[in-house]
Structure 1
Amino acid sequence: MDAPDALPVAEGEAPGRDVLAVLQGGRLAYEALIFAASFRAANPEYDGRLIFAEPQPGPLWGDTDPTAPSEIRQFLGTEYGAEIRPFASEAFGARYPHGNKIEALKVLDRDRPFVFFDTDTLFLGPLSEVPFDDAYPGASMRRTGTWPVIELYGPGYTQTWKALYDRFGLDFDSSLDLSHPDEYWERYLYFNAGWFFGGCPLAFHRRYLEIARSIWDDPPPELICQPLEPWLDQIALPLVLHGLGGGRDAVPPGLLDGRITCHYRLLPLLYAREADAVVEVLERVTAPNRIKKLLKGSEAAKRMIYQGKGAKARALFDRAALPPKEQTIRNTLKRNKLWLR
C-alpha cells in the first residue's frame, strides 16, 4: 500500500536535505539527545530540517509503549529545533524494532531529498560538505560480511542473493563487483543500514517496505535456514538501492563514517576504539548542565561520560593496534565491568 503524503512543504521553508532519525523509548532516546546536540554543534547554519520519527503505541507493540519520555521529546524541539513526527507501525513493531527505520520514512515529504541516520551517530563536521547525488542513492559501506551465513551444505552467496534479485525482478549480474572472486562476500551488494539517502523518501519507503515484508513473511527457499533478525534491514537495502539506480560508493570515502560522522554503536565501543577527536566532540556536546541532567537518566551515559568509566575503557586499548574482531573488544570491556548499553 502506498504511503500517504506527508504535509506539503510551505513556501519559504528551508530547501536543504531533511535529516531523519528514529526517536524511541529506552537507549535510543538518550542517543537522540547526543545525536541532536552533535548535529547542531557541527551544523549551526544547516539549511534543512532535523526530524525525528517516533513510533506510537498500537497493536504491533502490544503492552509496550515505544515513545520517548516527554521531557526528552520537548528538549529536542526547544533546544535543537527538531521536529518530532509520530507514525503508526503497520508492519513490524515489537517483532522487529529495526523495522522502525523502514516505516519512519513515511513521515517525510514527497520528493524532498533526505538522509537517514541511526541515532547512535555522532556528528563531527558539516553535512553540507557531503556531495549527495540523488540520482545515485546509496548507504554506508562500513560493513562486514555478516549475511548470508553460509552453511557447509547450503546455498552459497550467489544462489542466496540471486534468489532475492529474481524475486523482485532485479538484474543480479549488474549488481556484482567483479573485482572480487566468486563466492566472496564483497562481490555482492551489501551495506550497513546505519545511514542511507535518496531523493524521494516516500518512493524509497514503498520499495523498502515491500521488499522487507516479502522477505520476512515469505522468504525464498534459499533463505529458509538464514537468520533474518537483526539483518533484515541490511538484506533488503541493497535490493532497494539497486532498484532505484543506486549502488556502491555513493559518497566519497572518508566523509560519512569518517570526518563528518561517526557511527559509534554503543558508548563503550566509542571510548574503546574511536579517535581522540571523536571523544572530544562527545564530551563537549554533552557537557552543558541542561543536557547532562537528562543524559544522567541513562546508566551508560552517566557512568561512561560523567563518572569517568569511558576513560577507563579507553585505557584498555591501543587505538593503533585494536583487536581485529569486535567481539574481542566487547569481551575485554565485559571482563572489566565496562560493558554498558
Structure 2
Amino acid sequence: MPRQVFNILIVGQSGRLMFEALLFAASLRQKSPAFEGRLIVATPEPGSLWTSNPTIRNGGVLEALARLEAEVIPFESRHFGQAYPYGNKIEALSVLPEGEPFVFFDTDTLLTGEIDAVPFDFDRPSASLRREGTWPKPTLYGPGYTEIWRSLYARFGLDFESSLDLSQPDEHWRRYLYFNAGYFYGACPHRFGTRFLEYALSIRDDLPPALIGQSLDPWLDQIALPLVIHSFGGARDSLPQGHLDGSTSCHYRSFPLLYARECDEVIATLEEVCAPNWLKKVLKGYEPIKRMVYQGRGQRVRALFDQHNLPRKEQAIRNRIKSAGLWMR
C-alpha cells in the first residue's frame, strides 16, 4: 500500500509540557525516521484567558525542537485557556493545514515504533480506548448512563443506538462510546476542530438537563470527543488493536506511572531517547526527568511492582509510589 502522509499535532507550553513535547519529538525521530509529515507543536499565546505567559520561551528547548524538525506554532486561546487547559487540544487544531489528515497526541506520549505503519483510516476517525469509566457517574436515583448519553446524541442530531456496543450489558459504561483523548485522528483538522469546539461549548454553556450534577472538569473534552467521532462516521473499532497504545505508542501519563506499569521496551525507549548529550543538557532542566531517568529513581519505582500482576486500579499504583516517597509529576 502507498505510504500515507499526515501531520502530527501536540500542544506544548512553558513548564512540564515543553519537556514532554521534546521527548515526544525525539522519540518520533528515533522510532519513525521515515515519517514524511509535519510535526507541529502548538503553543498558546498569552492573553486574557491566561494568568501568566504560557508560551515556550526556554531557549534550550526551542533549539532542541528545531533540531528535531518540530515546528512551534502559536495559537490564540479564545474559549478555554487557564480555566480549562484541556481545551488547548481543541483550539490548537486550527494551526494545522486544512484538508490534510492529522493525528493528535498528548505530549505525555512516547512513540515506540514506526508511526507510518499504523493503518489509519482517516475517513473513519477514532481515539484512544486506554481508558477507565471516569464519566459519567450516575447517581442512585438517576439518570443513568443511557439517559445521559442519549441526551447528548439528541442535542446534536446524532443516532444514539448505532453508537452502542451491544456486547456489553445495559448501563455498563463500556456499552457507550467513550474514549481517552490522549490521541485522536481525522481527515481534516479544521472540520474536526470546528465541530469539536461547537459540541464542547454547547455542553459547557447550555448544559443538558440530564447532565446536571455531573462534573465537566476535567472531562469536557472526553464528553464531546465521542460525539464528534461518531458524527464523522468513526467508531471504537476504526483502528485495529495493537498499534497505538500498543506496539507504536505509549501514553505514559507521568514518569512514575511509566516505570511502574509499562513494558521493558517502553522503558528502554525512554532511556535511549534521553541518552544523547545534547538532549540530556536540556532535559535535566526538568526535575522529574532528571531524577527518574538520569538519577535512577525510576528503577526504584519499577522495583515496587510485579509488572505481570499490577494493581487493577491506577489509584492503587499511585498510592504505593507515594507511600515510598517516589512520586513526582
Task: Please tell me the TM-score bracket, short chain as reference.
Answer: over 0.9
The question of whether the paired residues in 2 share the 8 Å contact of 1:141 and 1:249 is answered with no
Q: Structure 2 counterpart of 1:218, which letter?
A: D
What residue is the counterpart of 2:284 in the other structure? 296
Q: Distance in 2 between matches of 1:196 and 1:76?
A: 26
**Take 1:335 and 1:244, find their aligned partners in 2: how far apart are those partners?**
45
Secondary structure at the counterpart of residue 308 of structure 2: helix
Aligned to 1:24: 13
> How many residues matched?
327
- Which stretch has the larger CA shift, 148-157 or 259-268? 148-157
Aligned partners of 2:147 and 2:61: how far apart in 1?
46
Residues 18-57 of structure 1: pairs in structure 2 closer than 5 A: 18-57=7-46
1:114 paired to 2:98 = no
1: CA distance, partners of 2:265 / 2:277 = 22
Post-superposition Cα deviations, 1:33-72, rounded to whole Å, max 9, x if no partner, equal 11011110011121111111110100111x3111123325
Give secondary structure in 2 for the equivalent of 1:240: helix
In percent, how many aligned pairs have the same letter?
Answer: 59
| Number of the residue aligned with 2:58 | 70
Equivalent position of 1:250 in the other structure: 238
C-alpha separation in 2, matches of 1:235 and 1:250: 19
Q: Is the Cα–Cα contact under 8 Å of residues 330 and 339 in structure 1 kept in the other structure?
A: yes
1:105 alignment partner in structure 2: 93
Find the partner of 2:112 among 85, 103, 124.
124
> In structure 2, what is the equivalent of residue 9 of structure 1?
none
Deviates more, 1:304-313 or 1:133-142: 133-142
Does residue 236 of structure 1 match 2:237?
A: no
Matched, 1:167 2:155: yes
Does the 8 Å CA contact 1:33/1:72 hold for their aligned counterparts?
Answer: no
Separation of aligned partners in 2, 1:72 and 1:122: 20
Contact 2:56 2:62 in 1 (8 A): no
Query: Taking structure 1 as the reference length, what is the TM-score of the superposition?
Result: 0.94
Q: What is the CA-CA distance between 1:290 and the residue it aligns to? A: 1.2
Paired position in structure 2 for 1:284: 272
Deviations along 1:174-203, whole A, 9 cap, x unmatched? 111111111111111101100000000000
| SS class of match (1:65) | coil
Instruction: Give distance in 2, aligned partners of 1:191 and 1:140.
Output: 5
Who is 1:325 aligned against? 313
4+ runs of 1 displaced by more than 4 Å?
none
Contact 1:52 1:82 in 2 (8 A): yes
CA RMSD of aligned residues (A): 1.2
Match of 2:250 among 245, 258, 262: 262
Q: Which deviations, in whole Å up to 9, do the C-alpha atoms of 1:189-248 show, x marking residues without a partner?
A: 101100000000000000000000111112101111001011111100000001111111
Conserved? CA contact 1:50–1:83, under 8 Å: yes
Corresponding residue for residue 10 of structure 1: none
CA contact (8 A) 2:25 2:65 kept: no
User: Does residue 1:94 correspond to 2:119, yes or no?
Assistant: no
Q: Which moved more, 1:127-136 or 1:196-205?
A: 127-136
SS at match of 2:49: helix
Q: 1:83 corresponds to which residue?
A: 71
The residue type paired with residue 321 of structure 1 is N
Q: Is this contact kept in 2: 1:149–1:226, CA < 8 A? A: yes
Amino acid across the alignment from 1:109: P
Give runs of aligned pairs for residues 97-246 of structure 1, distance below 5 A: 97-246=85-234
Q: Secondary structure at the match of 1:53?
A: strand
Stretches of structure 2 that go unaligned for 5 or more consecutive residues are: none
